[in-house]
Structures are given as structure tokens and as C-alpha cells.
Amino acid sequence: MNAKDLRIGNCVLLDTGLTLPDFHIIRANDIQVIDDKILKDISIEPILLTEEILLKFGFEKIGDNLYEKDGIQLEFGWYEQITVHVNSVFVVNINYFHQLQNLVYALTGEEL
């Protein structure tokens, strides 16, 4: 992952190679560390969006492959592609939780 893709508060997986990847929330000092590649022995991986994650963060299932929260709709499509609509207008395709966090923050000014 690239530090420019992340914001403070984004959720990622950290993999030290010693244990199973661990859920991690990015803190202020993490961005500089990631950008400077100081974490040579740690892999930072994005979290794939799943139904479980959407439901956990307040989205409601409103159709077979459709979820909604505060006017933001996500639709699971082919090849794990997720289409985002805001007020029925196509916005973007995403795959990862940090992308959804950034989009929701950009649209609403609130954290997921």
C-alpha cells in the first residue's frame, strides 16, 4: 500500500509474518512511517469489503446485493467489484474498506 492512499483512522491489516494479519487503525505517526518504508518487516494490506464489514459499520441490506447508509448505496457486482451510488448517481468503483472510509468522509465529513 502507498501512504498517500491512507488517512488517519483508516483500517488496514498489518502482517508481521510472525502471527496472523492483525486489524489496525492508522494513527498520526503511522503515515510517515509507512511513507518512509521504515516498517521493512511489516506488510500493510487493505481490507476487502464484505457484507459483514458493511453491516458492522451501519449499512443496511436493501436488496440482493445492495446496501445503504445515509444515501450512500453500495452494490456488489461481478468479480468482487463494488459500485458506489450517492442519491442514485454513480460515483466510483471500490474494493477496500479504507476506500469506503475515505469516500464517506469526503461526502459527509463524518468518519465511518
99 shares a domain with 60: yes
98 shares a domain with 58: yes
Q: Residue 32: which domain range?
A: 3-45
56 shares a domain with 99: yes
**Arithmetic mean of pLDDT, 60-66:** 92
99 shares a domain with 56: yes
The number of folded domains in the chain is 2
List pLDDT tens digits, range 93-112. Answer: 888 899 999 988 888 888 88
Q: Across the strands, what pairs with 89? A: 86
The answer to whether 98 touches 47, Cβ cutoff 8 Å, is yes
SS3 66: strand
The answer to whether 76 touches 111, Cβ cutoff 8 Å, is no
Highest mean pLDDT among 19-23, 35-39, 46-50: 46-50
Prediction pTM value? 0.74
35 shares a domain with 56: no
Place of cell 452494490: 75
